[in-house]
Amino acid sequence: MIRIVVSVLVLALSACASQPTSRTAAATTENKAATERLNAGWGYMGAGNFQRAKYHLDRALEHDPKNARVHAALGHYYAEVGEKKRANEAFEESIRLDRNDGDNLNLYGVFLCREGKYAAAEDQFKRAMNLKSYNNIAATLENAGLCALRSGNDEKAEEHFQRAVRHNPKQPDALLELGYLEFNKGNLVRARSYLDRYVGASTDTARSLWLGVQLANAQGDKDMVASWGLKLERLFPESEEAIQYADKRKQWRN
């Protein structure tokens, strides 16, 4: 279970980190050219073109060397390409330049969590959420919950996820992980409720379909086991969840 959660954590955090909120709503003194290059850099990172992303981020830094968001974007870039020391230096510089940018604090927390520095990551998430002007609280709570899961603290994870869905009832990964936490405790009705809410708020993933399969099996519904399972194999045939389902398929459907 932990190994699957860690895999999802990295993907979930990557997705959240690659789209920080309100990038174009920076301070009025921010250099326009730097902002355009910064947005281009994020766009290329989102597309997986890190070479072009680095080019634009370097140009952004030339336009505005003291732009905290450019340094944070560079931190994310270096993290994605495996330059951990440079990533940390870039994130620290971004925080030094602006301690009140919640998106940058959230990004730094993501990086620290990936590095196994869970207490330090939690501190960055908390700093972001404590900013009165910060609006991306639900996603940051979701990240904090995923990080707590990675550290093995299910109780803290559940607390963060519950807060996340109070801030945003459609916060997808928080809903899905609450479903898993309830399933692992044997609370099948509550688990199903969270999965249904997830399905209404987001798209299918291997992890969500696998929860559906397991819930259907636990409730003795062989038809739904087959339905969820076929969808899992069709949409995500190479996933670890599909492999696990293949191992159980004959046993669960007979």
Q: Among all chains, which residue has been given the structure tokens 């399969």?
A: 213
Residue 233 belongs to some domain of the structure: yes
Place 252 in a pLDDT band, splitting at 50, 70 and 90: confident
SS (H, E, C) 125-136: HHHHHCCCCCCC
Residue 86 belongs to some domain of the structure: no
Place 15 in a pLDDT band, splitting at 50, 70 and 90: very low
Q: What's the pLDDT tens digit per position in 124-136?
A: 999 999 999 899 9
Q: What is the pLDDT of residue 60?
A: 94
Does the pLDDT at position 8 exceed 80? Answer: no
Residue 37 belongs to some domain of the structure: no
Does the pLDDT at position 123 exceed 80? Answer: yes
Residue 191 belongs to some domain of the structure: no
Q: What's the pLDDT tens digit per position in 36-83?
A: 999 999 999 999 999 999 999 999 999 999 999 999 999 999 999 999
Q: What's the pLDDT tens digit per position in 156-190?
A: 999 999 999 999 999 999 999 999 999 999 999 99
Q: What is the pLDDT of residue 31?
A: 76
Place 254 in a pLDDT band, splitting at 50, 70 and 90: low
Residue 248 belongs to some domain of the structure: yes
Query: Number of folded domains in the chain?
Result: 1
Q: Which domain holds residue 219?
A: 203-253
Residue 247 belongs to some domain of the structure: yes
Does the pLDDT at position 6 exceed 70? Answer: no
- To the nearest 10°, report the CA torsion of 168, 169, 173, 176: 160
Among 142, 91, 150, 93, which residue's Cα sits nearest to residue 117? Answer: 150
Mean pLDDT for the stretch of residues 222-240: 95
Does the pLDDT at position 30 exceed 70? Answer: no
pTM here is 0.84
Residue 219 belongs to some domain of the structure: yes
Task: Please compute, for residue 244, the number of CA atoms within 13 A of its CA located in the half-sphere on the CB side.
Answer: 14
Residue 96 belongs to some domain of the structure: no
Cα gap 137→24, rounded to integer Å: 18
Q: What is the pLDDT of residue 133?
A: 87
